[in-house]
Amino acid sequence: MAPDKENQIPRETRELISRLSQDCADNALFEEILTTLLLMAKEHKDIGDYKLIDKALKELRASFKVFKPYREVRKVALFGSGRVEKSDRNYELARNLSKNLVENGFLIISGAGGGVMQAANEGAGENKSFGLNIKLPHEQVANPFISASPNLLEFKYFFTRKLVFIKESHATVLLPGGFGTLDEGFENITLFQTGKCMPRPIVLLDHQEDSYWDRWLDLLDSLLIEKGYCSTQDSLLIKRARSSEEAVNHIKSFYRVFHSLRYVREKTVLRLNTPLSEEILMTLNHEFQDIVLKGKIEATSPLKEELINQEYPNLPRLSLHFDKNSFGRLNLLISRINQT
């Protein structure tokens, strides 16, 4: 506990915090959490703030408990309109996509409502999917394919719900939808663009005769990129698909050689499922030197910070001094690695 914080907490309370933290994975970090809560109670008496913190923490705790047994299984978050009828081709597309993803070893996370969300749970099945339902003034009811499942979570706040979507998933598929779908889509793209989430495949999917994402991409090119609000690199963060097979293949390909990423001090570490040859490494260094601040992309052993928690110690790695700005190019680097 920092000295300035320690001086604000009574000795008896400090001792209680110390005792409670003994069973935690990180005593110091748990002490920080409890200390922050206690200092907040001392600093002001706003009941509304207390209720917000209480509910947010409860929602996060519930989600951690539900997802913990499945942490090592990759999951795909599906977003799309809750107003799509079963007869709509995009409903069928979402259902088939979920079914195909489950057959390829993925689990599915939906928003638990109707339309595309219902199709996602239907295609995956209750035991292979999760539902993150949001409580709305008009009361969104969980769809029948997830409503009785222990994998259904109820959220009051959009911010905790969106955090869980990102934290617990490894890929995102967006089908046509309204404000909610676009909000979730922009959130995913923005977090990747700014390095606030790990790299992931983000797929825009609709059926062959639907022009929804074509028109959206036209807006991206003709307004955001043309006006300089986004760069051409940002378009590399997303993938267009016109069939469930194409979407599944892209998601599978993303994790064919690439496994995961971690930032360790000034280095960016890419864990791989298989090692790369010296020849391929030379090619990557030639093509992606523009995003390396110093040195080069090189094969390395696990760094000590990774070994502390035994983070995939047997996997080969690449490390580089990534500029932490060119995330579209980083996504392209991952794509090149997966093509080897």
Q: What are the pLDDT digits (tens) for 12-67?
A: 677 777 777 677 777 778 888 888 888 888 888 899 999 999 999 999 999 999 99
User: So what's the pLDDT on residue 4?
Assistant: 61
273 in the same domain as 202: no
Residues 75 and 221 in one domain: yes
Question: Would you state the pLDDT for residue 11?
Answer: 75
Q: What pTM was computed for the model?
A: 0.93
Indicate whether 186 pLDDT > 70. Answer: yes
Beta bridge partners of 172: 77, 202
| 264 close to 303: Cβ distance less than 8 angstroms | yes
Q: What's the token pair of residue 120?
A: 């996602």
Residue % of the chain over a pLDDT of 90: 84
Q: Are residues 190 and 83 part of one domain?
A: yes
- Which spans in the chain are helix H? 3-6, 11-20, 27-43, 47-67, 89-103, 116-124, 158-168, 179-193, 212-219, 244-254, 278-288, 304-308, 327-338
Tell whether 126 and 226 lie within a shared domain.
Answer: yes
CB 138 within 8 A of CB 161: no
Q: Are residues 60 and 159 in the same domain?
A: no
* Structural domain span for residue 10: 3-67
Any idea what the CATH number is for the domain that residue 186 is in? 3.40.50.450
pLDDT of residue 6: 55
Identify the domain boundary among 67, 91, 115.
Answer: 67
